[in-house]
Amino acid sequence: MKNILQILAAAALILMMTGCATTPVAYDYSAYKASKPRSILVLPPVSHAPDIDASPSMLSVATLPLAEAGYYVLPVAPVYETFRQNGVMVAEDAQSIEVRKLREIFGADAALYITVEKYGSVYQVLSSAVIVSADAKLVDLRTGEMLWQGHAQASSAENQNNGGGLLGMLVSAAVNQIVNQVTDRGHQIAGVASVRLLSAGHPSGLLYGPYNPKYESEK
């Protein structure tokens, strides 16, 4: 009887573990592949971070990974000037413009909408780090359909060595806080986050564009 109970308990545990297991879901690129965007308009990023540099910093580092992925990216300066001349000075206003209107003004195939969730230095008793976190979505300006969305984060603490005991950690946190305040670490980390978010060729990332030799190589 005891052996039977043990077998039943083991079977129940296996069933519970099987029921709780989750299988990673592959990203659905069907709309993306059908759209075949060649040019991308990067809209001014909306920022939820207190640092006023978050939006312009993220905007300035977003074009490089997109270009390397194989897309024509509309130059940031003329796009910004076009918005300014039309009285659009706030990122939220730019991102709320109808896709049909964006297509009419800029002629791009798709628009990239970026939201910065975190940007700047975070200081705690035993650690100090600059963190940049952002979400993005790519929208077809011809149909209004969302083609892709993603999230990425980068931190200056990723490669820090926390050795040296409690005193060493306190000193390291204080030094890092000073360095983060007197240098533009936020912009550097934004560049890392942007590459992670907008590079092509990794799972659930952007597809290669038509100006990259690997275009349409993804299965």
Let me know if residue 50 belongs to a domain.
yes
Residue 219 has pLDDT above 70, yes or no: no
User: What is residue 190's three-state secondary structure?
Assistant: helix
Convert the pLDDT of each residue in 158-206 to its tens digit: 865 554 444 444 444 444 444 444 346 889 999 999 999 999 998 889 9
**What is the residue range of 47's domain?**
26-198
Please say whether the beta carbons of 120 and 49 come within 8 A: yes
For residue 181, give the CATH number of its domain. 3.40.50.10610
Residue 122 lies in a domain: yes
Q: Are 116 and 92 in contact (CB under 8 A)?
A: no
Judged against a pLDDT cut of 70, whether residue 13 lies above it is answered with: no
pLDDT band at residue 157 using 50, 70 and 90 as cut-offs: confident
Residue 190 lies in a domain: yes
Lowest mean pLDDT among 116-120, 167-171, 208-212: 167-171
Q: Which residues contact 69 (CB under 8 A, 6 or more apart)?
A: 198, 199, 200, 201, 206, 207, 208, 209, 212
pLDDT at 158: 81
Residue 207: the pLDDT is 97
Residue 211 domain flag: no
CA–CA gap between residue 28 and residue 146 (Å, rounded): 11
Helix residue ranges, H only, the chain: 2-20, 30-35, 54-69, 76-85, 91-95, 99-106, 165-182, 185-198
Q: Quickly list H helices, 70-184.
A: 76-85, 91-95, 99-106, 165-182
CB 199 within 8 A of CB 192: no
Domain count, the chain: 1
126 domain-assigned: yes
From CA 99, how far away is CA 147, in angstroms rounded?
13
Statement: residue 17 has pLDDT above 50: no
pLDDT at 27: 81
Q: Is residue 182 part of a domain?
A: yes
Structure tokens at 76: 């940031």
Amino acid sitting at position 87 = G
Residue 98 resides in a domain: yes
Q: How confident is the model at residue 10 (pLDDT cuts 50, 70, 90)?
A: very low
Report the pLDDT value the prediction gives residue 161, as an integer from 0 to 100: 54
Q: What is the pLDDT of residue 80?
A: 94
Would you call 203 helix, strand, or coil by DSSP?
A: coil
Kindly tell me if the per-residue pLDDT of 33 is higher than 70. yes
The answer, yes or no, to whether residue 123 has pLDDT greater than 80, is no
**What pLDDT was estimated at residue 140?**
98
**Mean of all residue pLDDT scores within the chain:** 82
pLDDT in tens, 49-98: 999 999 999 999 999 999 999 999 999 999 999 999 999 999 999 999 99
Q: Cβ–Cβ contacts within 10 Å for residue 169, how many?
A: 16
pLDDT score recorded for residue 167 = 40
Whether 6 maps to a domain, the answer reads: no
Question: Which residues on adjacent β-strands are paired with residue 111?
Answer: 41, 139
pLDDT computed for residue 9 by the predictor: 40
Average pLDDT of the segment spanning 135-161: 91
